[in-house]
């Protein structure tokens, strides 16, 4: 396929606000995970116990020369109620540049749907400890969407996992404080970490939203009224209920008054495929979630140390990986 054909193929898959969900169960409860995080489903693995770990981490297993931690999802949610299933499955996931196996009961199948059909969990709004971020309807039943980044954050035991490794030196804090940053992130845990680190670095005007739809409404309001302060930059996750980050970026870049607004995709799903999609929808930069210190430097580059991108002559997508 020629280059223009490849780009058109990617375009058809980018910014459509759709996703594929793998539905599985632990006990009577059905859960869902974005297929983009799933590497494969494995029937059985040989587990080696690891002492002095979280009770839900039941050991490690070897797969293709990689040693991978195995988390019993039932034990994570209900430590006093272990699974009674006769046979269980391992869902191997990859996010934030690492692989983790999750032990579950039954694995159903993959469903394709719009992010508009994935609803936020109202009772967890504003709860930094929420592990279930949203819910979707599949075949007349409900599947709970799990914040797997939060689980990894909890199990790591490393409270500095998402904090700066490079420091926050660089731009004048007063210059950073003059910028108004919109943050779209559905995980309360990750949203809180990103926001606190940006504020610590001097980006004190951070306005956070739990999904792309709320973020888009705020952006439209910011250009609809002269009484509303404009935003300087958008930082967005990819997978969010109601509207995902790629569709949010696509709308921004198609809007006559917002198209010059820099957009940084900050996600655990910055794979080669998603990088191509980020480029197609017009994102200015993409970065993996653990790189908080590098996020600050990237904002400095886009907002302070260089002029905003000229979208009539679009620069190449900037990529910052772990």
Residue 164 lies in a domain: no
Residue 147 lies in a domain: yes
- Give the residue with greater pLDDT, 195 vs 306: 195
Number of structural domains, the chain? Answer: 2
CA 252/CA 258 separation, integer angstroms: 6
Q: Are residues 186 and 244 in the same domain?
A: yes
CA 266/CA 294 separation, integer angstroms: 11
Residue 9 lies in a domain: no
Q: Are residues 114 and 190 in the same domain?
A: no
Q: Are residues 57 and 131 in the same domain?
A: yes
How many residues make up the chain in this entry?
322
The closest of 164, 59, 51, 138 to 101, measured between CA atoms, is 59
What is the average pLDDT across 58-75? 94
Q: In the listed set 122, 156, 190, which residue is the last one of a domain according to the structure? A: 156
Write the CATH number for 100: 2.40.50.180
Q: In the listed set 156, 183, 201, which residue is the last one of a domain according to the structure? A: 156
Tell whether the model's pLDDT for residue 312 goes beyond 50. no
List of long-range contacts for 121-124, beta carbons under 8 Å, 24+ apart = 124/188
* Residue 86 three-state SS: coil
- Beta partners for 89? 104
Whether 58 and 70 have beta carbons less than 8 Å apart is answered as yes
Count Cβ atoms within 10 A of the Cβ of residue 181 and give its class: 0-12 exposed, 13-18 middle, 19 or more buried: buried
Residue 168 lies in a domain: no
pLDDT digits (tens, 9 = 90+) for 85-115: 989 999 999 887 788 999 999 999 999 999 8
Q: Are residues 140 and 33 in the same domain?
A: yes
Q: Please state, rounded to an integer, the average pLDDT across all residues of the chain.
A: 84
Count Cβ atoms within 10 A of the Cβ of residue 73 and give its class: 0-12 exposed, 13-18 middle, 19 or more buried: buried
Neighbouring C-alpha atoms within 13 Å toward the C-beta of 253: 22
Whether 145 and 135 have beta carbons less than 8 Å apart is answered as yes
Q: Tokens 């009484």 label which residue?
A: 227
Q: Are residues 263 and 208 in the same domain?
A: yes
Highest mean pLDDT among 12-16, 125-129, 265-269, 295-299: 295-299
Residue 275 lies in a domain: yes
Q: Which domain holds residue 287?
A: 173-305+315-320
- State how far Cα 201 lies from the chain centre: 22
Q: Are residues 195 and 106 in the same domain?
A: no
- Token couple for 77: 């949610």
pLDDT digits (tens, 9 = 90+) for 248-266: 999 999 999 999 999 999 8
Neighbouring C-alpha atoms within 13 Å toward the C-beta of 301: 13
Q: Are residues 151 and 238 in the same domain?
A: no
pLDDT digits (tens, 9 = 90+) for 199-235: 988 999 999 999 999 999 999 999 988 777 899 999 9
Q: Are residues 187 and 132 in the same domain?
A: no
Q: Tokens 């799933």 label which residue?
A: 38
- Please compute Rg for the chain using Cα positions: 20
Q: In the listed set 123, 156, 189, which residue is the last one of a domain according to the structure? A: 156
* Residue 128 three-state SS: coil
- Give the residue with greater pLDDT, 50 vs 206: 206
Q: Are residues 141 and 197 in the same domain?
A: no
- Beta partners for 30? 25
Q: Are residues 152 and 177 in the same domain?
A: no
CA 9/CA 135 separation, integer angstroms: 30
Q: Are residues 84 and 193 in the same domain?
A: no
Residue 213 lies in a domain: yes
Residue 14 lies in a domain: no
Residue 165 lies in a domain: no
Write the CATH number for 187: 3.40.50.2300
9-13, 235-239, 273-277, 305-309: range with lowest mean pLDDT = 9-13
pLDDT band at 129 (very low <50, low <70, confident <90, very high): low
Q: Are residues 220 and 284 in the same domain?
A: yes
Tell whether the model's pLDDT for residue 53 goes beyond 90. no
DSSP 155-207: HH--TTTTS-SS-S-SS-HHHHHT-EEEEE-S-HHHHHHHHHHHHHHT--EEE
């Amino acid at each position: 396929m020629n280059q223009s054909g490849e780009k058109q193929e990617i375009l058809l898959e980018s910014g459509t606000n759709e996703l594929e969900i793998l539905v599985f169960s632990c006990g009577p409860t059905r859960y869902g995970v974005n297929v983009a995080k799933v590497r494969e489903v494995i029937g059985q693995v040989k587990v080696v116990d690891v002492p002095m770990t979280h009770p839900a981490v039941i050991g490690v297993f070897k797969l293709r020369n990689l040693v991978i931690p195995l988390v019993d999802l039932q034990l994570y949610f209900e430590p006093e109620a272990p699974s009674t299933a006769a046979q269980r499955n391992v869902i191997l996931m990859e996010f934030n540049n690492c692989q983790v196996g999750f032990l579950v009961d039954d694995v159903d199948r993959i469903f394709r749907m719009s992010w508009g059909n994935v609803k936020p969990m109202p009772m967890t709004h504003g709860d930094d400890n929420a592990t279930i971020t949203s819910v979707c309807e599949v075949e007349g039943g409900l599947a709970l969407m799990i914040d797997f980044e939060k689980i990894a954050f909890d199990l790591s035991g490393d409270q500095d996992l998402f904090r700066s490794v490079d420091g926050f030196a660089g731009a004048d804090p007063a210059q950073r404080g003059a910028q108004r940053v919109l943050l779209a992130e559905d995980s309360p845990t990750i949203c809180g970490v990103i926001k606190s680190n940006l504020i610590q670095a001097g980006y004190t005007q951070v306005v956070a939203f739990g999904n792309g739809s709320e973020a888009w409404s705020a952006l439209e309001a910011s250009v609809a009224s002269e009484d509303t302060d404009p935003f300087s930059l958008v930082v967005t996750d990819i997978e969010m209920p109601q509207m995902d980050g790629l569709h949010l970026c696509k709308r921004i870049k198609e809007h006559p008054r917002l198209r010059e607004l820099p957009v940084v995709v900050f996600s655990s799903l910055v794979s080669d495929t998603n990088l191509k999609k980020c480029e197609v929808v017009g994102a200015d930069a993409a970065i993996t979630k653990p790189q908080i210190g590098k996020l600050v430097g990237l904002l400095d580059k886009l907002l302070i140390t260089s002029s905003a991108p000229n979208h009539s002559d679009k620069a190449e997508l900037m990529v910052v990986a772990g």
